[in-house]
Amino acid sequence: MRWTTATQLDRWADTRLSQGQLPHLVRRLIMASCTTLRPAQIPVHDSISRPGWDGILAARDDEGNEFIPQGVSVWEFGTNRNINQKANEDFGNRKDQPGVGIIPAETTFMFVTPRRWLKKQEWEEAKRQEGPWRDVRAYDAEDLELWLESSPAVGAWWAKELGFVPPDAISLNGWWEEWSSVTNPVLTPPLILAGRENETLKLGKWIEAAPSILTLKSLSPDESVAFFAAFVQNLPDDQKQVVEARTFISGSQEFLRQFVPTKRPHIVVTLQTEIGIASSLVRYGHYVLLCVGNEVPDGGQYLKLDRPAREPFINQLKMMGLGEDKCKKLADSTGRSFSILRRRLAPSGMLSSPEWALPDNGPLLIPALLANKWDEHNKHDRQALAELGGRPYEELSAVWARWRNVSDSPFTCVGSSWKLTSTEDAWTMLARFLTGPDLDRFEQVVRTVLGMDHPKYELEPDKRWYAALYNKQRPYSDRIIEGLAHSINRMGTIRHDDAPDQTIFLQSRARSLVQYLLYDATGVRWASSARCLPDLAEASPLQFLAALEHSLVQDDPPVMEMFTEEGFMGASTHTNLLWALETLAWFPEHFGRVVLALAQLSRLDPGGQMSNRSGNSLRSILWPIAPQSTTTQEQRVETLRMLHDRESDAFWKVVLRLLPDNLASWTDNPRPKFREDIAPCPRTYSPYLLGREWDAIADLVLEKIADIPVHWPKLWQKYPDLSPPSRKNAREIFQRCIPAINQTQTTCLEIVKELRNILNLHRSYTDAEWALPEEELESIETIFHQIGSNGLYKYAWLFVFGYPEFLDGGDITDDQYGARVQIARENAVLDIFTHFGFHGIIELSTIVKHPGSIAFSLRLVEEQWNLEESIYPLLNMPEDSAQYAFATGYISSQIYPLENNNFARLSQNARDEQWGASAMKALFRQAPTRRIVWDLLEEFPEEVQEDYWNKAYPDFGAAEEEDILYALSSYLQYANAAIALKAIASHGKFLPTGMLIQVLECCLTHQNQLNKRLEHMSSYYIDVAFKELKKRTDLHEMTVGLLEWRYLPAIDQGEPLTLALHTSLAKSPNLFIDFLAMAYRPDEAEEPEKDLSDQQTRSAVNASRFLSMWANPPGTDDNGKIDIETLSGWIADVRLRAKERGYLSSCDYTLGGLLGRFVGPEPTGEAWPPAEICRILEELNSRDMDDSFCSSICYGRGVISRSMNEGGAQERKLAASFSKSAEGVGKQWPRTSGILRIIAESYEKNAIREDSEVKRRDLKL
C-alpha cells in the first residue's frame, strides 16, 4: 500500500505546483485520520495566499493520534529548499503574533514539508525548549510517506496526482473522473441520482450508522459505483471532502486482506470480495460497499437501484446542455441504462463492445435482434422466434438465458415479456453479423405475422371491442407485432456506420416489406396494421406515402376503414395513421405530401367521438408558435398556398385556426424513432419571427377571402389578435367586399354579431392592455353600420340568452344593465309592431335565439293591441316551435305572482273561450306546484290534469303538509312514479307509511318510466325511500322484506347492507335454505342440466345478490358485538338443514362470505379477526367456508385508485398488515392464521404484478 515514497515527495517539492498542492494533501490526510467526520480549516487553491495560519485544527481528546495532536493545533507549510530557514521564520513570526483566539500554552505548533529534513528532530526539541507552545512537531517527506501509507484512499488519490495509477486501488475521485468524462457532454452526478431519492436517503443513513456491509445492486457494477460516487459528489462540501478522503475502490483480495488492520475507518468500495475479508473489514471499523450488477439474483438483502425515472432523467440530460428532443430520444433508446448511454455519448470506438456483441456471441442473438420484443408465454411468438433463428425456440432460449442476467444485458425482461434493452444499441453492435439467410427468414416471418388480418374485423363494429368473447384474437402477441415493425424501421433507417457493407441492402428489404404490407391493401389490412404504421412510415416514407395516396384516390378509399368507430367508447384505429403522418411531417422533403394526405383525410373524415382528427393533425404541423415540423416559415406558407389550390375546403378549415389565438393550446407530435437526419425542433420563436409568419398567413387569407364572404365571420373572430398592419389591411379589403356580403343575410348576421362583440368588449375594458384604440373601434363601427342587417334582423341581437352586447360597451352594474336591456327590448318590439304589425313580432320570434324574452317585452304594445287574442292561439303550435316558446313565455310573464289572480283569470278564459287541449296543457305547464293551481286544475278535462301531473316538478316550497300529501296522491293517481319517488327525498317524513309503500309499488309497475326520467339517480332515490321506510314502527318486518326482494336489482350495492329481509333470515333458518336453493344447484345434483325460465333466472340472480349483500351475522348487536352462542347455534342449525337438502357446500360458501364481509376488507386492530369469528372457522374446518371468507375480504376492498407509477405499494402494505394479524392469532387460532397468510400471499403476488405493470409501461413493453 506504499504507492508514494519519501524520495518521490522530495522531488515533487521542486515543482511549481507543490506550494499549492501541499495544503490540499495535508487536509485530506487529516480528514482521513480523524475518527469523526470534521473538516480542517486549511485553505487550498486560491485561498493559500491569504494572511494567517496555513491551517488550524481542533481535535477532541479521542481524535488525537500519531499524526494529529489532541486539542488545538496550528499548521504551517513549506516547500523551500532551505527548509530550516523557512521553519525558523514561520516559528518566529507566529511566536510573537499567534492570532486572535490562539493561546500558545494550549496549542501545538505544526510545521510540514514534503522535503527530507535531516535535522528535524533537533529543530523540534529546540523549539519546544524555546516555547511558548504546548508542543512543537515537524513532518517531513518520511512522515508524509508513513501517513499516506496509513490512509489508502488518500494514497491512491495522491499517486494519481503524481502521475501514476496504483495497481491495487483507486480513489473515488479518480474513478469518477475516468468513468464520467469519457462522454460528450460529461455525465453529471444529478443524472445518476435522477429519480432515486429513496435510495439516496438509504445510502446516507448507511454511512451515518455503525460500520457494516452494504450490497448495492444495479444494471451493472459500474453503475453501482457511479451511484455512490454521484452520491458523494452531491454531499455538502465539508462532508464530501471527508468521505472522499476515506473512500477508495479496490478489487484486490490480497490488498484488502493487508488493509484490514488499518486503524482509521475507511469506506471500502469493491466489486467482489470474500465474505471473510468483508467481515474482517467491518470488525476493524471499516464500511464495505459491495457494488454488483445483474449477475446477482434478485431477492437478496441489498439496496437495489431501479432504472432512473424517465422525466427526472430527461431533465438532467437537458441540464447537461442537450436538446430536449435528443434527451427524450436518449431516455427511450437507451432504456436509461448508463452503460448504453455512455456508448451513445462517447466518441466512436472509445468504449469496448460488451461481451454479448463479440464475434463468438453476437450471431447467436440475431433472431432476438430481429424480433425486438416478444411474449415467451405465447406459443405463436415462440414459433416465430424459432423460424427467425432456424432452430427450436428452446435452443435459442438456452443461449439467451446466459445474457439475461448479466451486467449490461442486451435484454430487459418483465415476467414473460422480453425486449431489447436498446434497439439502437443492439443494432449498432449486432447489425454487422446479419446474413442473407437471416433476412430471408425475417421477411417470411413478417409476411406471416404482420400480413395477417385481425380476426376481430369479421365482427360488426359495435362488437369488436369485446372480440375476445368471440375468440376473435390474433394468435401473436402485440409485443412481437410491434417488435417486428420496429425492426423493419431500424432496417430502413440503418446508418452506414452500423452496417457498412449492408446499408443499401437492408434499406431495400425494408422498402419492399412496406410495399408488400400496404400497397393496394384492403381496409381491413390497413386497420390490422394500425400499430405498425408509425414504424412502417419511418422505415420507408416514399413507399408509405405512395400506398396511402393510392388508397385515397379510389372511389371508396379502403384506408377510411380505419375511421370506423368500435364499441360504446367510439375507439378507432385512425389515430395510428395520423401519428405516422405526423412523424413524416418532420422531414421537409415529405412535408407537402403529408399536408395533402391529411387534407384529403380531413375531407373524407366521417367524424366521431375521438378528438384526434385529421384536421387537428394538419393544424399541429403548421401551427406557427410550435410547428411540429422542421420546415421554414416560407415553406409552410407556400404549402398553404398549394393546399388552397388543391384542397380548398381543408385550406379554409385549417388556415383560420393558424391565426393568433391567445387561448390556443397544442401538444408535441411523435418524432422519428431512429432517423437522425432532421434538425432539432425550435421550441420558441422570437416575437419578430412569429409575427412575421402570422402576417404572412393573414396576407394569404385576405388574398383568398375576397371571393368567399362566408369565411369573414371567423376572420373577424381573430381580428383583435392580428397585428396592426394586418388589421388595417383586413378593414380595407372588407370594405370592398361589403356589397357582395350584403347579398347573404345569414353571413351578414354572423358578421354583425362578431363586430358587435368586438365593439362591446373593447369599449367595456378601455384600460386593458389588449383593448383596441377608440379610433380603430370607430372605423369598425362605421363598417358595422354598412352591413345589411335590416328589417327584423337588426333587432335579433337583443333577444338572446344572457346579456346582449351594446356597441358602446359600458361599465355598469348588473341591475343597471338589465334595466337598459329591458328598455331596449321594449322599444325594439314597439318599433317592429309599428312597422310590421303584430305579425312582425311573431316573425321575430322565429329568428331569435330566445323567443320567450320577446314575451316579457310587450309592455308598450299591449296598450295598442289585444295580445291575448293573438298569442293564445299560438299555444296550439308544435311544442318545439319558436311561436310556442313565445306564447308560453307570455303566459309566464302574466301569471306571477299568483296572488294577482291573473292565472285564475287566464284559466277562466281558457274554459270560456275553449282554447283547446294543447293550449290548456301549455297554460298549466307554466304554473307552479301550488294548491291554488291544483284547485283550478280540477275544473279542466281529465286530459289536461293528466298532462299536468305527468310534467309538474315537485317544488312545493313552504307548502303545508296537507298540500304535499295531495300532490303526491295526484302523482300516484296519474302513475307519475318517478316524480313521486323523487319527492320522497325532500318530503318523505310527511308521508304516511301506506303512501310510502304505494309510491314504491307504483315504481315497480312503471320501471321504464323510472329509468327514463331519473336515469342513474333512481338507485339513490330508492335507497332514500327505504331508509325512510325503516324508520316506521307501524310496519311488519316481512312487508319491508318483500319490497326489498322486489327492489334488489335497484338497491345500491356500494357497500354491504343489512336489509329487513336479512333480519328475517337470522330468525328463520328455513328461509335461509330457501334462498340457497334459489341461488345454487344442489351439491350433488343428479338431474340433467336444463335451461332456466326467465323467472327462475331472475330469482336466482336476485337470491345470489341478496345473499352477497348480507354483512351482519345472526347474534350481532348494534355495536358490532357477537353473541357467540347465538351465532354458533344458528350456523349449526342451518348447516344441518342444508346438509339434509343437499346444499351444505353452498351453505358453507355463503357463510364464509358473510363472515368475511362482517370483519371487513382489512385488519382494524390487534385482535383481528374477532375471536368469535376465529372460533367458527377453527371448529367447522370447512374448505368452502375458508375460500369464501378469503374472497369476500379481498373483493370487499372495492374499487381502488392509484397513481401511474405507484406499483404495488398498497398491496404490499395490506400484505404486511395481514401477515401481522396472522402472527397475532397464530398461537390460539392456527387455522385462521393460515387463512390470513393465504390472503397476505395473494396481496404480495398482486403487488409484484402491479410493480411489473409499472415496469412494462415504463419500458414500453
Split at pLDDT 50, 70, 90, the class of 498 is: low
pLDDT of residue 1052: 56
Mean pLDDT of the 432-443 span: 94
DSSP string computed for 1124-1190 = HHHHHHHHHHHHHHHHHHT-HHHHHHHHHHHHHHHH-SS--SSS-S-HHHHHHHHHH--HHHHHHHH
DSSP string computed for 328-342 = HHHHHHTTT-HHHHH
Q: Report how far Cα 903 is from the mean position of its chain's Cα atoms.
A: 58
Q: Give per-residue pLDDT as tens, 635-652.
A: 999 999 999 999 999 999
Name the residue with cell 338507485. 1019
Mean pLDDT, the chain, integer: 86
- What gap in Å lies between CA 230 and CA 1117, rounded to an integer? 62
What three-state secondary structure class fits 138? Answer: strand
pLDDT of residue 510: 95
pLDDT of residue 515: 96
- Report which DSSP code applies to 1057: B
Split at pLDDT 50, 70, 90, the class of 163 is: low
Q: Give per-residue pLDDT as tens, 957-995.
A: 666 788 888 888 888 888 777 777 777 777 777 778 888
Query: In 3D, which of 851, 854, 811 has the Cα closest to residue 833?
Result: 854
pLDDT of residue 37: 38
Report the amino acid identity of residue 225: V
950 CB-contact burial (10 Å; exposed 0-12 / middle 13-18 / buried 19+):
middle
What three-state secondary structure class fits 374? Answer: strand
What three-state secondary structure class fits 110? Answer: strand
pLDDT of residue 38: 47
The answer to which of 214-223, 535-544, 980-989 has the lowest mean pLDDT is 980-989
Query: In 3D, which of 1117, 1114, 1151, 1125 has the Cα closest to residue 1136?
Result: 1151
- Report which DSSP code applies to 901: S
- Out of 33-47, 245-259, 535-549, 1244-1258, the most confident range is 535-549
- What gap in Å lies between CA 902 and CA 892, rounded to an integer? 11
Mean pLDDT of the 220-224 span: 93
Name the residue with cell 384529403. 600
For residue 55 the three cell numbers come to 491551517
DSSP string computed for 403-446 = HHTSTT-SEEEETTEEEES-HHHHHHHHGGG--HHHHHHHHHHH
pLDDT of residue 683: 53
pLDDT of residue 452: 95
Q: Terminus-to-terminus CA distance in the chain, angstroms?
A: 49
Mean pLDDT of the 733-738 span: 90
C-alpha separations of 754 from 96, 523, 976, 1131 in Å? 91, 43, 46, 77
Contact 771, 726 (CB under 8 A): no
Mean pLDDT of the 911-917 span: 84
User: What's the half-sphere exposure (Cβ side, CA atoms, 13 Å) at 147?
Assistant: 26
Split at pLDDT 50, 70, 90, the class of 679 is: low
- What gap in Å lies between CA 1070 and CA 1051, rounded to an integer? 25
C-beta atoms surrounding 770 within 10 Å: 10
Between these two residues, 260 and 364, which has the higher pLDDT value? 364
645 CB-contact burial (10 Å; exposed 0-12 / middle 13-18 / buried 19+):
exposed
Split at pLDDT 50, 70, 90, the class of 466 is: confident
C-alpha separations of 361 from 200, 293, 943 in Å? 37, 20, 90
- What gap in Å lies between CA 347 and CA 328, rounded to an integer? 20
Reply yes or no on whether the pLDDT at 618 is more than 70.
yes
Q: Give per-residue pLDDT as tens, 753-804.
A: 899 999 999 998 988 999 999 999 999 999 998 887 667 788 888 888 878 8
For residue 369 the three cell numbers come to 435482434
Split at pLDDT 50, 70, 90, the class of 340 is: very high
For residue 1164 the three cell numbers come to 382494524
User: What's the half-sphere exposure (Cβ side, CA atoms, 13 Å) at 892?
Assistant: 16
Name the residue with cell 388508397. 551
The set of residues, in sequence order, having a beta carbon less than 8 Å from that of 1210 and lying 6+ positions away, is: 1200, 1202, 1247
Backbone angles phi, psi at 722, to 5 degrees: -75, 160
- What gap in Å lies between CA 358 and CA 403, rounded to an integer? 13
C-beta atoms surrounding 708 within 10 Å: 12
Reply yes or no on whether the pLDDT at 1055 is more than 60.
no
Between these two residues, 859 and 648, which has the higher pLDDT value? 648
Q: Give per-residue pLDDT as tens, 268-319.
A: 999 887 888 889 889 888 899 999 988 887 766 789 998 898 899 999 999 9
Mean pLDDT of the 596-605 span: 95
Residue environment code for 36-59, b if the CB has 16+ CB neighbours within 10 A, otherwise e: ebbbbebbbeeebeeeebbbbbeb
Query: In 3D, which of 743, 753, 758, 658 has the Cα closest to residue 709?
Result: 743
Between these two residues, 145 and 680, which has the higher pLDDT value? 145
The set of residues, in sequence order, having a beta carbon less than 8 Å from that of 1161 and lying 6+ positions away, is: 1193, 1194, 1196, 1197, 1198
Contact 432, 366 (CB under 8 A): no
- What gap in Å lies between CA 42 and CA 577, rounded to an integer? 66
pLDDT of residue 39: 45
Split at pLDDT 50, 70, 90, the class of 871 is: confident
For residue 625 the three cell numbers come to 408558435
Percent of the chain scoring above 70 in pLDDT: 93
pLDDT of residue 338: 92
pLDDT of residue 67: 85
Mean pLDDT of the 686-706 span: 89
pLDDT of residue 1087: 56
Q: Give per-residue pLDDT as tens, 824-840.
A: 888 988 988 888 888 88
Mean pLDDT of the 260-264 span: 77
Name the residue with cell 394479524. 1221
- Cis bond leading into 739, ω under 30°? no
Per-residue H/E/C for 586-597: CCHHHHHHHHHH
The set of residues, in sequence order, having a beta carbon less than 8 Å from that of 1159 and lying 6+ positions away, is: 1168, 1169, 1170, 1173, 1193
Q: Give per-residue pLDDT as tens, 170-201.
A: 888 888 988 998 999 999 999 999 999 999 99
Which residues are registered as beta bridge partners of 173?
none
pLDDT of residue 266: 86
Between these two residues, 979 and 396, which has the higher pLDDT value? 396
Length of the chain: 1261
- What gap in Å lies between CA 605 and CA 1236, rounded to an integer? 56
Between these two residues, 1061 and 1127, which has the higher pLDDT value? 1127
Q: Give per-residue pLDDT as tens, 1082-1108.
A: 887 655 556 677 777 888 888 888 888
The answer to which of 472-481, 994-1003, 1202-1211 has the lowest mean pLDDT is 994-1003
H or E element: which one contains 318? helix 310-319
Contact 283, 297 (CB under 8 A): no
Mean pLDDT of the 1164-1176 span: 88
pLDDT of residue 410: 93
For residue 779 the three cell numbers come to 372605423
Q: Report how far Cα 384 is from the mean position of its chain's Cα atoms.
A: 34
pLDDT of residue 549: 96
- What gap in Å lies between CA 634 and CA 700, rounded to an integer? 12
Helix axes 1124-1141, 1171-1180, angle to 10 degrees: 30
Mean pLDDT of the 851-862 span: 84
